[in-house]
Amino acid sequence: MPEQNRTPRTGIKTLMADPVTTALAPHHERFLRFVRSKVGSESVAEDILHSAYVKAAERAADLESPESAVAWFYRILATGTADHFRGVSRERRAVEAFEREAHVADPQPASATVCGCVSEVLPTLKPEYSEAISSVDVHGVRVEQLAAAAGITPNNASVRLHRARAALRKRVEAVCGACAETGCVDCSCS
Radius of gyration of the chain (CA): 30
- The distance of Cα 87 from the centroid of its chain, to the nearest Å, equals 11
Judge whether 43 lies within some domain. Answer: yes
Which residues, 6+ apart, have CB-to-CB distance to 127 below 8 Å?
none
Number of domains in the chain: 2
Q: Is there a domain that residue 131 lies in?
A: yes
CATH number at residue 170: 1.10.10.10
Q: Please check whether residue 105 lies inside any domain of the structure.
A: no
The pLDDT of 78-99, averaged and rounded, is 86
| pLDDT greater than 80 at residue 142 | yes
Indicate the pLDDT class of residue 163, thresholds 50, 70 and 90: very high
Q: What is the mean pLDDT of residues 49-67?
A: 83
Burial class (CB in 10 A: 0-12, 13-18, 19+), 2: exposed
**What percent of the chain clears pLDDT 70, i.e. is strictly above it?**
75
The pLDDT, as a whole number, for residue 155 is 92
pTM over 0.85: no
**Taking 60 as the threshold, does the pLDDT of residue 165 lie above it?**
yes
Looking at the structure, tell me whether residues 71 and 120 fall in a common domain. no
Query: What is the average pLDDT score of the chain?
Result: 78
What mean pLDDT is predicted for residues 18-47?
Answer: 87
CA–CA dist 119, 14 (Å, integer): 71
Region 80-88: what's the mean pLDDT? 87
Does a structural domain hold residue 171?
Answer: yes
The domain boundary residue, chosen from 79, 106, 124: 79
With respect to residue 73, please indicate whether it lies within any of the assigned structural domains. Answer: yes
Same domain for 19 and 71, yes or no, is yes
Would 190 be classed as within a structural domain? no
Given 54, 79, 104, which residue is the final one in a domain?
A: 79
Residues 175 and 125 in one domain: yes
Is residue 92 scored above 80 in pLDDT? yes
Give CB contacts under 8 A, 24+ apart, made by 132-136: 132/157, 132/160, 132/161, 132/164, 133/161, 133/164, 133/165, 133/168, 136/106, 136/161
- Residue 101 falls inside a structural domain: no
Domain final residue, candidates 79, 97, 130: 79
Does residue 189 carry a pLDDT above 70? no
Structural domain including 57 reads 12-79
* 93 located within any domain: no
Max distance between CA atoms of the chain, in angstroms, equals 88
